[in-house]
Structure 1
Amino acid sequence: MSRGFVKEEDQEEIPMVPPRADLPLGATNYVTETGLHKLLSEKDRLIKDKELSQQDNEKEQRIAINLINAKLQLLNERISSAKVVNLNDQPLNEVRFGAIVSLLIGDAKTPKEFQIVGVDEANIADDKISFLSPIARVLIGKKVNEVAVLKIGKTDRTFKIVGIRYS
């Protein structure tokens, strides 16, 4: 049927779903055990939201359910591709995925801690950085007292590793 014969109010609105954190094509979706639990909790919450969704009219209800289904589809893809890294298997003296790293940044006198985590778990406000971030890339493989250098434009930012732990 031609779109010219469809009433404007009968046209279904396609929900816009924000993309999940970027995971480049071909990159392994590493997650911590905590990260996987957060993804599964998010899935449970979306399922409950879907079950409890009640809108004033049928069209709004369909749109709300379509939005939740779209979010669930993206989330299920992330969960199914997740590869949990056992932090107990990581080398204690080297920065690897899941490490909580104490760093002296530049000329700072007090260290700052960051944990290297999966893309969905990363949140700078919680001091969690993605393993794909430039900072994590220069830190991975380093040991205590080594200095990692990140080039930012024409300047170099230094990160001295003063502690590594896994928990």
Structure 2
Amino acid sequence: MLNFLIPVKNHIDIKNWDIIKKNIQSTLISINNQSDNNWHCYIVCNTGCDLPALPDENKFTILSVDLNKKNVQKSAGLHSYYDAIREDKGQRLYTAFKKCNNDDFFMVVDYDDFIHKDISLYVNKHQNENGWYIDKGYFYSGGNVLIKTKKFDTKCGTSNILK
């Protein structure tokens, strides 16, 4: 089974939540369009977060947490700021990891990314592998432009599948 893990930043810290909510909706739709049905998606967000409607409540689970109490600002220094972001994301992912079985695959998905419809099909046909990285992919501008890129795994967080 492939588990998609989506860590969502604290909605209180985001200036325009409506844009983020729209991005999350598009991401959830792309995940829901998987050609193989052996997958699950965990969305980890703060309690009280206003998420879009789930495409399929049997395939998506919302995990509510109370994190990001530090609220480190950029003015505290970029090093401290980015450390706090990484720690927060790590805690959210750990919450979701605990829901996965030991022999499951997982893929961290940024809440503004799209997933190819055959990812779960590929993963479920290759259960004996330890994982993959995606080195070729596309960046989407939100308009009519797709930009194909090499070394995708060095530029996008949604590029690894692990067991």
TM bucket by the smaller chain?
under 0.3
TM-score by length of 2: 0.26
- Ranked by relative contact order (alpha carbons within 8 Å, sequence separation 6 or more), the top structure is 2
Higher Cα Rg, which structure: 1
Higher helix share: 1
TM-score by length of 1: 0.26
